[in-house]
Structures are given as C-alpha cells and as structure tokens.
Chains A and B, each alone.
Chain A
Amino acid sequence: MRFTTLLALATAMAIAAPAALTQASEIRVGFTNDADTLDPANHRKRETETILRNMYDGILTRDGDMTVVPELAESFRQVSPTVYEFTLRKGVTFHDGSELTAEDVKFTLDRITVEGAMDGRTSPRKSLLGPVEEIEIVDDRTIRIHLGEPWPILPAMLPFQEVVSKAFVEKVGTDGLATQVNGTGPFRLVDWRRGDSVIMERFDGYYGGADDIAPVGKACVDRVIFKVIPENASRVAALLAGDVDIINDLPAHSVAQVKNNPGTDVVTANGTRSFFVALNTQGDIFDDPKVRQAAMHAIDKDLIIDRILAGNAVAIEGILSPDAFGHNRELTVYDYDPELARAMLAEAGYPDGVDLQLDTEGAYKDVAEAVASLLTKAGFRTTVVVGEGSQLSSKWRTRGGEKTGDMYFTSWGNGSLDPYGIFVPTHRTNDRGNSAGYSNPALDEILDEAGVEADTEKRAALYRKAEAIVNEDLPYLYLWVPQDIYGVSRRLKGWKPSPDSRINLHDACVD
C-alpha cells in the first residue's frame, strides 16, 4: 500500500496540474445525473430537463419568482375556457440557422400529445399536457391550443416543454434526436460524453430570451459544461478543488465546510418538494383523527429543521409549499406539546401509548429517526424501518389496495407549484400518491372542481378550503419543504438558483 501511494505521488508530480487550460470563459456544473436522452419529448426526469433547458427554449418559461412569462411566445391569452392563443416572436432562429415558425410549435406539441407520434411510440410526457386535444395554426406566428375540458394549469405546465425544429426532427428521426440538439436556446451542443459530461457553447444567434427576465441578450460565457458527479462527497470535493463552479444537491452537513472555504459559497432556493409522514388512516390506530392530531403535537419541526437540516427548510401546516398557488396562510399550527399529545392519545383510548413502525428510505434515515424519537417521547413508541425507495412505494402507494404499515416518511415534488400536481395525487381517494389511504368525498369534490375552475381567484379559494380541511383532518403529518442547496464558486456572478430546480446558465458570468 505504501508503494502504491508513493507511485501515485510520483505520477502526480510528473503530471502537475493539467488544469488552467481555459482562456475562454467557462462555467462547469457538478451535477448529480447525466441526461437520459437529449430528446426533450422522450424522458420523464427533471435532471434531464435541467440540462436540456439550456439548449432548448419553451413557449413559456418562469422568472425568479416562479411567475409564468412568455419565452418563445411574445404574448398569450385565454380565448375561452378551453382555448389558449399564443403569438410567437419574430426572428427566432434554431441553432442551424432556420427560423422558428408556428409549424415547429405545433409539431412539438403534437409529438408530445398524439399517440404514436414519435416514430410509432408515444411520448412519456403526454400526461404533462393533460387534456390538450388539438393544436391549430392560425397564421405563421399564431397558434391555438384546444383543450378537451377546461384545464387552468396549462400555462403553468407549458414551461416544462421545449420546442424542437420540425424539419430537423423529420431529418434525424426520434433516434437522431436522442443524441443531437437543434434548439432555440442560449447554448448549442458541442459534445455529449455519456455518463461524463454535456459540453455546450454559446449560441451567437440567440434572440435573447424572455423579455421579462433581465438581462435580455446572448449568454454571458463562452462555454458551459454539465459534469456528472453522482456521489455527494465527490461533488463537494470537486467544488472545493475548483474543478466546478456550481454543484447541486449540496448535503446539509457540508454547508458549513463550503461556506468556510475561501473560494466558495452556499446559495439556496425555496424547493418545491413537500415532506410529510403518511399515517395509515385505514389502520386501527390512525383511523381516529384525534390520534393523528396528537401525533402532530408530538413533533417539533423547528428543532429538526434547525439541527438536522441546518435551517434550510420551511415548516408547512398543509401539503402546499408557502410559494404554491392557492396556499392557505391561515391554517392551524399544531404547537409542539408532548404532554398534550400524550393526554390526547390517552383520551383516544391509548393510555399506555402505542408501538409503531415508521418506514423510510435510507436517504432520510436521520430525519426519520428524529421524528421517531419525538413521537416516542409523546407515547407513540416508534421504530424506524429503512427500505428501498421503489419497494416502499409499492407498499404504500397502493391506490386503494390494502395497506400494511403504520407510518411512512416520504415526500412529493411539485415543480409547477400548482396544487393540482400535489394535492390530487396525495389526497384524492385511491389516487397514485395517496399513501395515507385517505378518503374524504367532500375533499374529492373540491379538488375535482378546482381542477377545471377557470376563474383564478375562485380556484385559489377552493384550494384554500381544501387545505383547511386536511389541516384539521391530518391524514399526513405535514412537515416541511426543504430548500434546494447549491454550492457555488465565488467567481460566479449573475446566477441565482431557481425554485423549480432548473439551472439556467443564460445569465451567469464568471470573473
């Protein structure tokens, strides 16, 4: 072993830092995942989209406050509850120099929504466009999207789709689009080294991006590179060593280390993933709302956020993030009060407490154990059982099938920050993510109504009402929404993390 170490040293000396080769400005992102494919219509992964979104633009996008703004569209309006009209910008070109037309936008949306439109296969992103029925070309700068039923979240969902060139896709086919890029975004593809990196350079013909998001214009840096480093410790090491300028998913326990390092800093954005403990409302213990409320009083969220999550999370009293549309700001806060919890549990018929199991994934073991110890203090004697993600999801997300566990520490993401994407799957009777086995016909009715309500204010009011119901009923112990934590190099300027986890490098510069 000594010899191998010596050998390494000797080699290291001989090679001496191959870095510092760059004259052109370059930003490197140490990123958790590689892209699955470069075809924007043929994946279901947020990380893939984060990479692609630097080369492809959408009809609409979001600004730093998560407000939906036009991007390739110049403007858009709702013509009727089921028809939206989009006017496209003039003079937008693809990376190959061809001009963007309404044909390209129709082709893009058809490719996602029409069955078998991708050389006989159907896009896995179809459901992200809900009841889109037909794309009508009004003139070469105007399209209309026709919906099968009112679906007010269409504008919130369009930023997830990127516009491709019809002529290009017809030339290279779906197979070709998996590895080639011809978008309208600020960067063009140089090389995709599978499993290693995606290298892009500035597209000089870029139209400038959304008017509502300053600065408008070409990208600041010459090259950007997404470098795949899945392991947390290695990603942090790459940042500290100056190999990369941005890393995503900085573990909370490394925050202090990155902050104290002279060349690096930590930045955060409000996340969109809500964490909660599902209580088996079909079981013998948690079928009683009194017991569920008792459990809520047993948990000191602030303590866990402060001590384990290093302060990087915001407590929630319902399922929605405080940033989400329709969030109710007047929900009951269940104060941490283990004595009250114990008394309520006794009142509900368990004077000696109860024995319970809390299922969770390995990644959340620390936090789940903290939750368990707080519960135990209040008479819910809880043991944490760690399982693997997809196995637990089969056990808990049973869609009405019988449930066997007591509690499940889990989460649900909501990139669009529209309640539709999180409230319905987790709370509607027998829906996909309803791990609590919760069923409340009155709530189902409100959710169904809100899903098609076209009036924004009425819709928000419906969701506020829905949150008030679940805040009282507590099928879940609502915990917190963690912040997305990024480590950045101090030479990086102009970049802000975005609440939808996108890493948009258009505005970023380096010293």
Chain B
Amino acid sequence: MPMGKLVERLLQLVPVLLGVSVIVFLMMALTPGDPVEIMIGDQNVTAQEESLLRQDLGLDLPLHERFAAFLGNAVTGNFGLSFYHRRPVMDVIAERLPATVELSLVALLLALVTAIPLGVLAAVRKNTILDRLATVGSLLGVSLPGFWFGILLLMLFAVHLHVLPVSGRIGFSSEVQPITHFLLIDTLIQGRFDAFLDALSHVILPAITLGLPMTAILMRVTRTSMLEVMRSDYIVFAEAKGLSRHRILFRHALKNALIPTVSVAAIETGSLLGGNMIVETVFGWPGLGRLVVESIFLRNYPLVQAAVLLYALTYVMLNFVADILYTMLNPRVKL
C-alpha cells in the first residue's frame, strides 16, 4: 500500500473531526437547559451569585467566542474544566476511559470467539435444525434491548444463583496497583490470580450484554460469506482434487470468508462505544459511557464535547483501520 495514499486518508480525517466538533458544540449550546440553573437546582441564590458562577464557568461569553476558545483549546487537547468535577475534562475522562476500553475489548473478544465458529457451523450445516437455531438466536441477539437483557442476566446469575456480582469492576478487597489500567492485565502482571478471577467475574455479564448484538451480526456475516465462498470455483476444484473436508474448510474457505467479518468487526467495534452507555449504567461499570450520559443530563458542556470528539475520533480511526485491513486481506481492493 503506497504511503502517500495512507497520509491522504489520514488528512481526510481532519475536516471530519472539525465538522463533528462544530456539530457537537452547537448541539450542546442550542439544547434548551442551562448548566448554571441545573447546578444551583433548588437553592436560593442571588442574581449576583448566579452571574459569578456563570462567569466562573465561562458561560457569560457570547457563543462565537466560546466556540473559538473551544476550538483553540481542543487542538492542544485542552477541553477546559468539567463543570461538576471542577477538574480538567481530560483528567476526568482519562480516569474512566480504561474501564470502557477494557469492557469493549472483552465484549469484542467474546463476540469473535462465539460468532465465527457458530457462523461457520451454520454455513456447513446449512438448513439443518442447528442453522435454524443459530438464525433465530442471532435475530434475538440483535433485537433484545441490552438494557432488558442485562437486567435479566443480573437477576439470574447475581440474585438467584449468587454466582456473579451485581455491579462494579472488581471486589473491594482486591487492591490492584494500576500499571496498564486494564484490571484483567494488571492483575495477571502482578501474579494476583485471585484478583484476576474477581475482575473476570465482574466483567463477564456486562461483556456478554454488550457483545450480544455484535455476536449476532458477525455470525450472520460469517455464515453468509462462508456460504458464498463454498460455492466458488476454487473450492469446487479443491473438492475435485479430493482434499479433505477439514482442510478445505479451514485452509481455503475460512481465510477468504473472514474478510467481510473482519471489516464488519472493526466498524462494529465503534458501535460498542455507543452500547456502553446503557450497559455501564445497568452494571454500575465505572466507565466513560455512564459519565457521558450523566454529563448530557447535567449539560456539562466541556465533558460532553470532549467525549463526543473522542468517540468520533475512535470511530473514524476504526473505519480507517477496517479499510486498511480490507485491502491487506483482499489485495484486489485499493484504498
């Protein structure tokens, strides 16, 4: 792949991000609801004290000045102070981001290890009862609201069976020194197997809930593309040559059938971030998604702006990676 093309694609990201920042800024600013009003709530405050607070939050400036300040600072990665935490937005986000990324990665991993074998199986056993079950299952997987499914899992495994914890990221007796800030990795590095199991028991239900729709989608994609590949000439030729079924499936067919799966997975990973907002709320997962939801209701402009920009950047980058992966797996496609 030529380097020039790569750079060109990267440069194309700039206007996209600029556009996103304009939209998110305007949307927050134009949404009815005043952060100062929400912050003061039911308290009795004089007009002077209120204007002092407004000034302190930088909300006394006209819209265009606020936007200019926001853009200028955003370029340097400074998104200002979170209205509520009274600390730099990036610090607040940095504290919560690892939990979200860890959860998303576990969900992605779970989705991949279940979706691909199931997809292949459904394709190989086409139109059998197994295929039908997988189809119905994936339909359910896409349609079940994460919110409902999560609570169902909670009621079963935490309340009735008592085998998994209800919420949080790790138990209170497990103190883990942060190294990578991913608990599953940190606990292993430090040889704390008990703490690792503790963290794993916390992540499993939210990861299943979060990964379920993705599992369903990936399974369908794998099945379809596997069926398509199995019909192609080179597979027929391989069969004619008398190669074993096993060898045909895994050495020849799967490699090509996985191309769409990989690129869909990369794009869908972006949507895991969106799903996080619900799953994190249900499972009390201390991640970024929940923070953003809370911040939207509180009109915590700086935090929402920074977080949305971060989401957009991640999404755009994942698409970019998907494109590159696609061209690498399928050299006939050019960037």
Chain A residues in the interface with B (C-beta under 8 A): 1-5, 7-8, 11-13, 15-19, 21-22, 26, 28, 34, 36-37, 39, 42-45, 115, 121-122, 124, 126-128, 175, 178, 191, 193-197, 199, 223, 225, 227-231, 233-234, 237-238, 240-243, 388-391, 393-395, 397, 412-414, 420-422, 424-425, 432-433
On chain B, the residues within 8 Å of A197 by CB distance are: 168, 172
Stretch from B67-75, B194-202, B225-233, B249-257 forming part of the interface with A: B194-202
Known A-B contacts A390-B37, A394-B33; the reply to A19 vs B286 at CB < 8 A is no
Known A-B contacts A196-B286, A241-B159; the reply to A7 vs B171 at CB < 8 A is no
Q: Mark B157-177, 1 if CB is under 8 A from A, else 0.
A: 111011111111101110100
Known A-B contacts A8-B208, A18-B171, A21-B173; the reply to A238 vs B166 at CB < 8 A is yes
B residues 102-118 near A (Cβ < 8 Å) are: 110, 114, 118
Q: Which 5 A-B pairs rank lowest in CB-CB distance, beginning with the nearest?
A: A390-B33, A195-B286, A196-B286, A391-B32, A1-B137
- A4, A37, A115: the one contacting B85 at CB < 8 Å is A37
Q: Mark B22-42, 1 if CB is under 8 A from A, else 0.
A: 000000000111100111111
Known A-B contacts A2-B137, A390-B297; the reply to A240 vs B37 at CB < 8 A is no
15 A–B contacts, CB within 8 A, in A order: A4-B215, A11-B200, A18-B201, A26-B172, A37-B87, A126-B52, A127-B43, A195-B96, A225-B172, A230-B294, A231-B284, A234-B167, A240-B159, A390-B38, A394-B34
Question: CB distance B151 to A237 under 8 Å?
Answer: yes
Question: CB distance A388 to B33 under 8 Å?
Answer: yes
* C-alpha spacing A22/B212, complex, angstroms: 34
On chain B, the residues within 8 Å of A19 by CB distance are: 162, 165, 171
* C-alpha spacing A297/B222, complex, angstroms: 65
Question: CB distance A7 to B175 under 8 Å?
Answer: no
B223 at the A interface (CB under 8 A): no
B265 at the A interface (CB under 8 A): no
Known A-B contacts A178-B87, A195-B290, A227-B167; the reply to A412 vs B42 at CB < 8 A is yes
On chain B, the residues within 8 Å of A425 by CB distance are: 42, 44
Question: CB distance B84 to A36 under 8 Å?
Answer: yes
Question: CB distance B163 to A230 under 8 Å?
Answer: no
Choose among B42, B49, B281, B297 the residue with the greatest number of A CB atoms under 10 Å from its CB: B42
- B41, B118, B166: the one contacting A234 at CB < 8 Å is B166
- A15, A231, A237: the one contacting B163 at CB < 8 Å is A15
Chain B residues in the interface with A (C-beta under 8 A): 31-34, 37-46, 49, 52-53, 56, 84-87, 92, 95-96, 99, 110, 114, 118, 133, 137-138, 140-141, 151, 153-155, 157-159, 161-169, 171-173, 175, 194, 197-198, 200-201, 204-205, 208, 211-212, 215-216, 281-284, 286-287, 290-291, 294, 297, 299
* C-alpha spacing A69/B34, complex, angstroms: 36
* A/B pair count, beta carbons within 8 Å: 208
Question: CB distance A17 to B85 under 8 Å?
Answer: no
Q: Give B34's nearest chain A residue, CB to CB.
A: A394
Interface of B is mostly: helix
Question: CB distance A18 to B197 under 8 Å?
Answer: yes
Question: CB distance A43 to B168 under 8 Å?
Answer: no
On chain B, the residues within 8 Å of A433 by CB distance are: 42
* C-alpha spacing A45/B83, complex, angstroms: 12
Q: Give B299's nearest chain A residue, CB to CB.
A: A390
On chain B, the residues within 8 Å of A126 by CB distance are: 49, 52
Question: CB distance B281 to A44 under 8 Å?
Answer: no
Distance (Å) between the CB of A15 and the closest chain B CB?
A: 5
Q: Give A418's nearest chain B residue, CB to CB.
A: B44
Distance (Å) between the CB of A195 and the closest chain B CB?
A: 3
Question: CB distance A1 to B45 under 8 Å?
Answer: no
* C-alpha spacing A124/B204, complex, angstroms: 41
Question: CB distance A243 to B158 under 8 Å?
Answer: yes
Question: CB distance B158 to A229 under 8 Å?
Answer: no
On chain A, the residues within 8 Å of B157 by CB distance are: 8, 12
- A1, A39, A229, A388: the one contacting B212 at CB < 8 Å is A1
Question: CB distance A175 to B43 under 8 Å?
Answer: no
Question: CB distance B164 to A196 under 8 Å?
Answer: no
Question: CB distance B284 to A421 under 8 Å?
Answer: no
Choose among A18, A121, A238 the residue with the greatest number of B CB atoms under 10 Å from its CB: A18
Given contacts A4-B211, A195-B95, 7 further A-B contacts (CB under 8 A): A8-B208, A12-B201, A121-B86, A122-B56, A225-B172, A227-B168, A391-B31
* C-alpha spacing A463/B9, complex, angstroms: 69
On chain B, the residues within 8 Å of A227 by CB distance are: 167-168, 284
Q: Give A45's nearest chain B residue, CB to CB.
A: B84
Question: CB distance B114 to A3 under 8 Å?
Answer: yes
On chain B, the residues within 8 Å of A223 by CB distance are: 172
Question: CB distance A233 to B286 under 8 Å?
Answer: no
On chain B, the residues within 8 Å of A7 by CB distance are: 110, 114, 208
Q: Give A42's nearest chain B residue, CB to CB.
A: B86
On chain B, the residues within 8 Å of A414 by CB distance are: 42
* C-alpha spacing A12/B99, complex, angstroms: 21
- A1, A44, A391: the one contacting B141 at CB < 8 Å is A1
On chain B, the residues within 8 Å of A1 by CB distance are: 137-138, 140-141, 212, 215-216
* C-alpha spacing A388/B299, complex, angstroms: 12
* C-alpha spacing A43/B84, complex, angstroms: 7
Known A-B contacts A178-B86, A229-B284, A231-B284; the reply to A424 vs B44 at CB < 8 A is yes
Distance (Å) between the CB of B46 and the closest chain A CB?
A: 7
* C-alpha spacing A390/B85, complex, angstroms: 19
Distance (Å) between the CB of A49 and the closest chain B CB?
A: 12
Question: CB distance B32 to A413 under 8 Å?
Answer: no
On chain B, the residues within 8 Å of A424 by CB distance are: 44
